[in-house]
Homo-oligomer: A and B are copies of this chain.
Amino acid sequence: MEIKIMKNILDRNQNKADEVREILRKKNVLMVNIISSPGAGKTTLLERTLEHFAGRFRTGVVEGDITTDRDAQRLKKFNIPIVVINTEGGCHLDSHSISKVLGSFDLDNLDILFVENVGNLICPSQFDLGETFKLAVISTTEGDDKPAKYPMLFREARAVLLNKTDLIPYTNFDLNNFRSDLDQINARIPLFEISCTRGDGLTEWYGWLSGQVSLI
């Protein structure tokens, strides 16, 4: 019975996601659904990326949070459209909530819409938001076993950002283990090894992302 209910929820989510995707396609907007554990560095990644693309791409952000608007506050300085969705305990965003806030953006004047999902490595991977692609962000301090232990996101995502590489020397994170587990799950997925606080590896990520915009 619970399986049937879950199927209904996912079906309805999928229908609305298809609508969202069609709207964005018509307006040539790239939507990036950013998914990670709590504290893996989604907001810091956004700070870096928004700063880099300022004046080059027209960007907007949907901030998904259980409560508070702390992440949105951190992005205020960029003077771009930001909408906060508080899930009030909900563990993921869904396509209905995205559909509702889409009208708050001037889609004719937008190139990239970043969606920072709720910090959760599991549930957000199951809900299509109508995004162009899912982006997996994982931090070295979480351990090198995360692709093997949480394979769904790594199967679904179009790229993986491995953040906090500056902390590798202080942990037992083994990059070879990480890469080989990821290979088992999604062999051809691009992996960017970055440090958002130190700036390492970000140029390649920027290049890849601008390539995705040009494909829209």
Q: Is the CB of B122 within 8 A of A66?
A: yes
- A91: chain B residues at CB < 8 Å are 91, 120, 122-123
Please give the count of copies of this chain that the complex contains.
2
| Interface flags, A16-41, vs B, CB<8A=1, else 0 | 00000000000000000000011110
Which one of B68, B146, B152, B167 lies within 8 Å of A141 (CB-CB)? B167
Q: Is the CB of A39 within 8 A of B70?
A: no
Complex alpha-carbon distance, A5 and B9, angstroms: 11
- A65: chain B residues at CB < 8 Å are 149
Contact A37 B119, CB 8 Å, known A70-B149, A89-B152: yes
Of chain B, the residue at the smallest CB distance from A71 is B149
Of chain B, the residue at the smallest CB distance from A70 is B145
The 7 sampled A-B contact pairs (Cβ below 8 Å) are A37-B142, A39-B146, A66-B149, A89-B152, A91-B120, A118-B122, A120-B123
Is there a chain B Cβ closer than 8 Å to A95's Cβ? no
Residues of A in contact with B (beta carbons under 8 Å apart)? 2, 5, 9, 37-40, 65-68, 70, 89, 91, 118-123, 126, 139, 141-143, 145-146, 148-152, 164, 166-167, 170-172, 197
Q: Is the CB of B151 within 8 A of A67?
A: yes
Q: Is the CB of A141 within 8 A of B164?
A: yes
**Among A122, A143, A151, A164: residue with most chain B CB under 10 A:** A122
Complex alpha-carbon distance, A143 and B65, angstroms: 15
The 10 A-B residue pairs with the shortest CB-CB distance in the complex, in nearest-first order: A39-B142, A141-B141, A91-B122, A39-B143, A37-B38, A37-B37, A38-B121, A91-B123, A38-B142, A120-B122
Complex alpha-carbon distance, A170 and B149, angstroms: 26
